[in-house]
C-alpha cells in the first residue's frame, strides 16, 4: 500500500485535476520573489508548472513514484510543492473522501484484477506503439 500511495501522489503531481487553481485576490500589497503584487490583484496559481519545476523536483517530467516513498510531502495543502487540490482555506474540502475512494478502488484493482494477457500471449509480443 505504501507504493500504491506513492503512485497516486506521483500521478497527482504530474496530472493535477485542476492545473490552474481557483483565482484568488490579494488583500494587501505584497512582494513575492521580487514581484510587487498590489492589493486587489487577481492571482492564478499554476499547479501544473509547480509540479514540473526543476528547482523543486529531480527529473520533473519523469514518472518516478519512488520519490514519495521516504518523503513527508503530501497533497493536503501544507507542502506547496504538491498542491493538486489547492491549499489553505480554499483547498478542496473533498480531499479525504476522494483519496479514501481512490485507495479502495486501486487496492481492489491490484488485489483482484487478473493482469494476465489474453490467450497466453507474452509481454514481448505486445506492440506498445
**Would you list which residues are annotated within the binding site?**
92
CA nearest to 116, candidates 126, 108, 127: 126
Residues forming the annotated binding site for heme? 92
Q: Centre a 10 Å sphere on the Cβ of residue 96 and count the other Cβ atoms it contains.
A: 10
Residues 6+ apart with CB under 8 A from 76: 91, 95
Amino acid at each position: 500500500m505504501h507504493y500504491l500511495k506513492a503512485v497516486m501522489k506521483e500521478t497527482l503531481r504530474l496530472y493535477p485535476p485542476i492545473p490552474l487553481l481557483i483565482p484568488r485576490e490579494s488583500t494587501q500589497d505584497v512582494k513575492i520573489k521580487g514581484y510587487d503584487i498590489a492589493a486587489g490583484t487577481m492571482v492564478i496559481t499554476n499547479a501544473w508548472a509547480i509540479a514540473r519545476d526543476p528547482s523543486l523536483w529531480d527529473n520533473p517530467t519523469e514518472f518516478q513514484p519512488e520519490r514519495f516513498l521516504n518523503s513527508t510531502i503530501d497533497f493536503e495543502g501544507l507542502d506547496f510543492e504538491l498542491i493538486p487540490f489547492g491549499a489553505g482555506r480554499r483547498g478542496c474540502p473533498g480531499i479525504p473522501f476522494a483519496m479514501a475512494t481512490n485507495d479502495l478502488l486501486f487496492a481492489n484493482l491490484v488485489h483482484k484484477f487478473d493482469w494476465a494477457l489474453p490467450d497466453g500471449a507474452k509481454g514481448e509480443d505486445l506492440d506498445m506503439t
